Amino acid sequence: MCPRRPIWIPEDAPPLFPNPRAFDPAGLVAGGGDLSRARLLAAYRQGLFPWFNEEPILWWSPDPRAILDPEHLHVSRSLWRTLRNKTWTVRATRDLNDVLSGCAEREEGTWLTAEMHAAYANLGVVGDALAYEVRDGDELIGGLYGVWVGGLFAAESKFHRQRDASKVALVAAVTHLFALGVRLLDVQFLTPHLASLGVFEIGRDVYLDRLAEVTALGREPGPGALVPPEIGEDLLPWLREMLREQPQ
């Protein structure tokens, strides 16, 4: 059977998407629509995300899908030394603005337009997204942000201004989010850099099956002896304790 052709979504259409299983593995499912909260959340619940440089908005669900969990997370000896020795602070925050601006600072240009920035910042305000900030004193040196729907966290982008800062943000996010009740952390595409941290691929059908299970979950803290810090608290001391079994 030939893959379905991408569909067009009028801007005033209901926030609904077709099942992405029948579309080409490259992942383009639809164009059009808008970046309203309702449409963004509907997209993530169905395994899609927006990705485009210029209008129209394009909605993607690639096959395979890249994910990460604490079991596969790899912290190298050099990264562990950074976590152990740096006097940085690492915090989760619902204010995405600084991290969004950092992620948009790319020499090759960015897909994080002003419209995208506003849409994701709004998701943070209403509790549907989080950013992880890494700071050296008051200076923001790295971070990542993503969308949080039930037991899914869909990581969207990360950046660094000092070596290892984006890696620290990702390690903190994976460890903290799973402790808070996330059961599926999506990073969309596998790269050699992400593979070095333990990111791996699963087929789109497998991803969508797992997604259907976890998006129905509430945000209940996961099992563990150490209570995770609240959003806004410094995660680094807790993170060191959680990762104390890592090679040193």
* 130-168 pLDDT per residue, tens: 999 999 999 999 999 999 999 999 999 999 999 999 999
Q: What is the DSSP letter of 214?
A: H
Cβ contacts of 55 within 8 Å, gap of 6 or more: none
CA gap 69, 169 in Å, rounded = 14
pLDDT in tens, 101-139: 999 987 766 778 899 999 999 999 999 999 999 999 999
Q: What is the CATH number of domain 9-63?
A: 3.30.70.3550
CA gap 232, 18 in Å, rounded = 37
Residue limits of CATH 3.30.70.3550 in the chain: 9-63
Q: What is the CATH number of domain 67-242?
A: 3.40.630.70
CA gap 28, 48 in Å, rounded = 9
CA gap 94, 145 in Å, rounded = 9
Residue limits of CATH 3.40.630.70 in the chain: 67-242
pTM: 0.94
CA gap 130, 146 in Å, rounded = 6
